[in-house]
Structure 1
Amino acid sequence: MSKFTSILARTFLQCRPMTNVSTKNMNMLSLMKSNSNPINRLAILSISDFNKRHKSSATSSLADKELATFLQDEIENETKSMETKATSPTFEGFNTELKDAKVILTKKSGKESFKVIFNVNNSLDNNSEEEYSEQKNVSDNKSNEDVELGSPISKPTYTIELEKNGQIMAFYCSFAEEGSYEDGNQSSPDSAGYSDLYRIDEISIYQNEYTDDSYSVTCDLLDEQMYEKLFNMLEDRGLGNEFASKLAEFSTAYEHKLYVNLLSKIKNFISS
């Protein structure tokens, strides 16, 4: 290509309309032309970036400050509530091991070892939570009156393991819903009108530890007399209704303690 032809080609390209360039790109090209100096372009980008970050930081700081203030009030209120109840109910003869939300109770009696395992996460009873919410609404509407509030009750599912000679018999239990027992075995009222606090949902027996191959059976399928005898078996070992009541008391206090601790951790996190 001759020198003259090359000059004509470049002139044609410069005069050709930029039909495929978007408005955004045109603005960028205009910005680059007016700021051909690299230092000027860097300054413009830095100022824009600073404004965005500063606005985001200011908004975040305000939200964090409001949350921290709210959490401080919530922690004080929950701590006062915690002081009015037992923080660590004990089980006579049981050793207690706490692993965050997980609780393990152990006991040895003769040739048998007992282990009770439960987790307080998502254990608050729905009925007690609804009742608590209703009472709190009444309290909020009657600020000048002294209204005593109830508290949500922790009713976790729990596993009882009876171990003897390497054999483990496991009972998978849950708390009975108040006023809603069905015909059949579980938590039905007896002839005196008494109903059990808990029910046995499932049983299994295995060597050393439970695996996916271990067989278990739901208690819905058991004969009523057999189910009652299983209940009596736990009752004789001090793992019946009285134990279930103490477990709910312990779990409620411990769950509340973990909740207050969580609020403190959140406050410390956003304040750091």
Structure 2
Amino acid sequence: MLSLRTITRSIPRTFSRSIATSALRPAFPKPALQSWKQATKPAYAAFSTSTISKAPSSDFDVELLAKLEDELKHEESSDVPEFNEQQEIISEIVKHGEWQVKDVPGEQEVVLTKKFGPESIRVSFTVADIQNISEQEDFDDAALNDDMDFQNQPRDQNNEFEQPEPSFPARVNVIVEKPSHGALLIQTVVQDGVFQIEEVSHFAQAELALAQTAEKDWARQSLYAGPPFENLDEDLQGLWDRYLEDRGLNAEFANMIPDYISVKEQKEYLRWLETVKNFIGA
């Protein structure tokens, strides 16, 4: 899994941007992992009786448990002020936009909903987008482009160049439903504060836009989904962008989504460490 922790290690510079153009990206640095051959096997006394109810099954379990414990402590103590600030920014944007959030611990998908006149708007994205980044070249290319544009960047008061921070793409589905008129499904990719619309589809039956069952997903695939968005007239494309902005899906909201994914991924990683540690130590 290439998570935020791996991504932040691969990017040599971190930057802060104003909330109007970007939210802060959380970085959770940690030292590179040593190989198991280099690790020193701890004694059983390294763990308190409150942590482990009985001895692990093997010496390797002891070593694995020690590493999980060390990783959990490191993650819990890394960049706590920045992590808290990031959550505050996200909460403020959600509150300002009057969004209702469904974020279930242990689940990957996050759903934001709101009312806009007679419309019901549903925005969904998943933490899997940060886990499924498998090609480091994407970030290497971004860093290379930064270096190529280095001379064109403004300098700060310390005569240092200010460069934008690379952003990972996040797939976001927007469903706009009207009573008795079905629903629109707007499939987008969010990156660098922009909703890049890929497809706009209308369904007479609103439940097909959500397609939470295999049957409805099959029924949806048999329907005409609309033309590729890039084939539309440029003026029409621009009007669709304004359609989203009018409903609160603006640059600030777009910047929040990768940040929300990063924060949730960190929470889920901590949860995973805790549950796996408890299982190994049981």
Same fold by TM-score greater than 0.5: yes
User: Who wins on radius of gyration, i.e. which is larger?
Assistant: 1
Residue 110 of structure 2 corresponds to 103
Residue 153 of structure 2 corresponds to none
* Alpha-carbon distance in 1 for matches of 2:166, 2:77: 16
* Structure 1 residues 16-31: aligned runs within 5 Å: none
Work out whether 1:68 is the aligned partner of 2:65. yes
Work out whether 1:258 is the aligned partner of 2:268. yes
* Alpha-carbon distance in 2 for matches of 1:260, 1:94: 26
Residue 5 of structure 2 corresponds to none
Work out whether 1:175 is the aligned partner of 2:164. no
Residue 251 of structure 2 corresponds to 241
Q: TM-score, normalised by structure 1?
A: 0.58
Tell me the SS of whatever aligns to 2:272: helix
Residues 112, 123 of structure 2: 8 Å contact kept: yes
* Alpha-carbon distance in 2 for matches of 1:76, 1:111: 48
Summarize deviations over 1:168-193 as a string: whole Å, max 9, x none. Answer: 111111123x6xxxxxxxxxxxxxxx
Residues 96, 103 of structure 1: 8 Å contact kept: yes
Residue 128 of structure 2 corresponds to 121
Work out whether 1:160 is the aligned partner of 2:174. yes
Residues 112, 124 of structure 2: 8 Å contact kept: yes
Residues 173, 200 of structure 1: 8 Å contact kept: yes
Count of residues in Structure 1 that have an aligned counterpart in Structure 2: 179
| 1:205 positional shift | 0.8
Residues 56, 280 of structure 2: 8 Å contact kept: no
The partner residue of 2:206 within 183, 208, 222 is 208
**Structure with greater helix percent:** 1
| 1:128 positional shift | 10
Alpha carbons of 1:214 and 1:249: their partners in 2 closer, same or farther (altered >3 Å)? same
Alpha carbons of 1:130 and 1:233: their partners in 2 closer, same or farther (altered >3 Å)? closer
Alpha carbons of 1:240 and 1:215: their partners in 2 closer, same or farther (altered >3 Å)? farther
| 1:129 positional shift | 9.2
* Alpha-carbon distance in 2 for matches of 1:198, 1:127: 23
Residues 128, 152 of structure 1: 8 Å contact kept: no
Summarize deviations over 1:114-171 as a string: whole Å, max 9, x none. Answer: 100111114256669957xx9xxxxxxxxxxxxxxxx996643110111112421111
Letter in 1 for 2:199: E
Alpha carbons of 1:262 and 1:62: their partners in 2 closer, same or farther (altered >3 Å)? same
Aligned structure 1 segments of 4 or more residues deviating by more than 6 angstroms: 151-154
Instruction: Name structure 2 gaps, 5 residues minimum.
Output: 1-54, 144-164, 209-219
* Alpha-carbon distance in 1 for matches of 2:58, 2:244: 55
Structure with larger RCO (C-alpha < 8 A, sep 6+): 2
Tell me the SS of whatever aligns to 2:277: helix
Residues 129, 171 of structure 2: 8 Å contact kept: no
Instruction: Name structure 1 gaps, 5 residues minimum.
Output: 1-57, 135-150, 179-195
Alpha carbons of 1:110 and 1:157: their partners in 2 closer, same or farther (altered >3 Å)? same
Residue 224 of structure 1 corresponds to 234
Alpha carbons of 1:73 and 1:154: their partners in 2 closer, same or farther (altered >3 Å)? farther
Residue 99 of structure 2 corresponds to 94
Residues 87, 254 of structure 1: 8 Å contact kept: no
* Alpha-carbon distance in 1 for matches of 2:232, 2:116: 28
Q: What fraction of aligned residue pairs are identical, expressed as a percent?
A: 28
Alpha carbons of 1:59 and 1:130: their partners in 2 closer, same or farther (altered >3 Å)? farther
| 1:94 positional shift | 0.6
Residues 129, 152 of structure 1: 8 Å contact kept: no
Deviates more, 1:240-249 or 1:152-161: 152-161
* Alpha-carbon distance in 2 for matches of 1:127, 1:113: 38
* Alpha-carbon distance in 1 for matches of 2:75, 2:171: 25
Alpha carbons of 1:129 and 1:101: their partners in 2 closer, same or farther (altered >3 Å)? farther
Work out whether 1:80 is the aligned partner of 2:77. yes
Tell me the SS of whatever aligns to 1:214: coil
Tell me the SS of whatever aligns to 1:170: strand
* Alpha-carbon distance in 2 for matches of 1:153, 1:262: 25
Tell me the SS of whatever aligns to 2:69: helix
RMSD over aligned Cα, in angstroms?
3.0
| 1:213 positional shift | 2.8
Letter in 2 for 1:175: V
Letter in 1 for 2:188: C
